[in-house]
Amino acid sequence: DSGVTQTPKHLITATGQRVTLRCSPRSGDLSVYWYQQSLDQGLQFLIQYYNGEERAKGNILERFSAQQFPDLHSELNLSSLELGDSALYFCASSEDSQETQYFGPGTRLLVL
Amino acid sequence: DQQVKQNSPSLSVQEGRISILNCDYTNSMFDYFLWYKKYPAEGPTFLISISSIKDKNEDGRFTVFLNKSAKHLSLHIVPSQPGDSAVYFCAASASLSGNTGKLIFGQGTTLQVKP
């Protein structure tokens, strides 16, 4: 158990809908990262937050947004969902940017 | 542009023997490298890391070697055990020199350790 929790574990929804994925980092970790793992793309970095502020952005679509709250949990919002958004979404956390990242169990999203 | 590559999609070894997983990178700004192990339907589990100021790091059965001039790293598992069967990901970041720890992952190598 990495100490990083993600909810929900599974999510099935329809195209055009909006979903919110939630992540609670390990106790004491200020950085939260979101990654997407799809069949053909492997693990891709989406976005990083540090202590509530956006720190880095990767290949995140404009339909996707994220935030980190004062209690340090983070949410990833995916809107206008398309079939191709079906993937595993992982959250990771670390004390700061120079430390090892620990991953949550992931949320499996299926868009029908 | 794949900055981190694991050219072997799969590897099969006998229990008790050495497993060697390889990884190549292209970005000379990377200064921190990690190996993660992943089982199906679970998140990646951190195994071992190495910073660019070292060329070797050891933790129990796991050793990571870094060859900066060749932009190559490898993970050695000795002795291999059936429980080591999983997908292994190599990841790299420029976290020590920059202010972001974003990881760039390789495509993974599936290791099968046969009893």
If one counts every other C-beta atom within 10 angstroms of the C-beta of residue B97, the result is 12
Residues of chain B positioned with their CB less than 8 A from the CB of A106: 41-43
Cα(B52)–Cα(B18) distance, integer angstroms: 24
- Mean pLDDT of the region A77-97: 94
When comparing pLDDT for A60 and B98, which is higher? A60
DSSP states along A26-88: PTT--EEEEEEEETTTEEEEEEEEETTEEEEE-S--TTEEEEE-TTS-EEEEE-S--GGG-EE
Q: What confidence tier does A1 reach under pLDDT thresholds 50, 70, 90? A: confident
Cα(B102)–Cα(B115) distance, integer angstroms: 37
Provide CB contacts within 8 A for B15, sequence distance 6+. Answer: B79, B80, B81, B82, B113, B114, B115
> pLDDT of chain B along its 115 residues, tens only?
689 999 999 999 999 999 999 999 999 999 999 999 999 888 999 999 999 999 999 999 999 999 999 999 999 999 999 999 999 999 999 876 666 788 999 999 999 999 9
Q: What confidence tier does A91 reach under pLDDT thresholds 50, 70, 90? A: very high
A71: tokens are: 């209690």
Across the interface, whether the CB atoms of B95 and A98 are under 8 A apart is answered: yes
Cα(A2)–Cα(B47) distance, integer angstroms: 12
> What is the structure's pLDDT at A11?
97
Give B28-70 as a 3 state SS string. CCCCEEEEEEECCCCCCEEEEEEECCCCEEEECCEEEEEECCC
> What is the structure's pLDDT at B2?
82
Across the interface, whether the CB atoms of B46 and A101 are under 8 A apart is answered: yes
Angstroms from A7 CA to nearest CA on chain B: 13
> Which tens digit of pLDDT belongs to each residue from A14-27?
999 999 999 999 99
In chain A, what percentage of residues exceed pLDDT 90?
A: 88
- Mean pLDDT of the region A87-92: 96
Across the interface, whether the CB atoms of A103 and B36 are under 8 A apart is answered: yes
> What is the structure's pLDDT at B95?
74
Among the partner-chain residues A31, A94, A103, the one whose CB lies closest to the CB of B43 is A103
Beta bridge partners of A89: A36, A107
- Mean pLDDT of the region A62-76: 97
Amino acid of residue B59: D
Cα(B22)–Cα(B39) distance, integer angstroms: 19
What is the bridge-based pairing of β-strands A10-13 and A107-111? Answer: parallel
Across the interface, whether the CB atoms of B103 and A35 are under 8 A apart is answered: yes
> What is the structure's pLDDT at A80?
97
> What is the structure's pLDDT at B41?
81
Nearest Cα neighbor of A46 from A62, A57, A38, A37 is A57
Q: Which residue of B has its CA nearest to A39?
A: B107
When comparing pLDDT for A2 and A76, which is higher? A76
Taking CA atoms, A102 is separated from A18, A24, B14, B56, in Å, by 27, 12, 30, 22
Nearest Cα neighbor of A36 from B71, B112, B103, B36 is B103
Among the partner-chain residues A56, A97, A102, the one whose CB lies closest to the CB of B46 is A102
Residues of chain B positioned with their CB less than 8 A from the CB of A105: 42-43
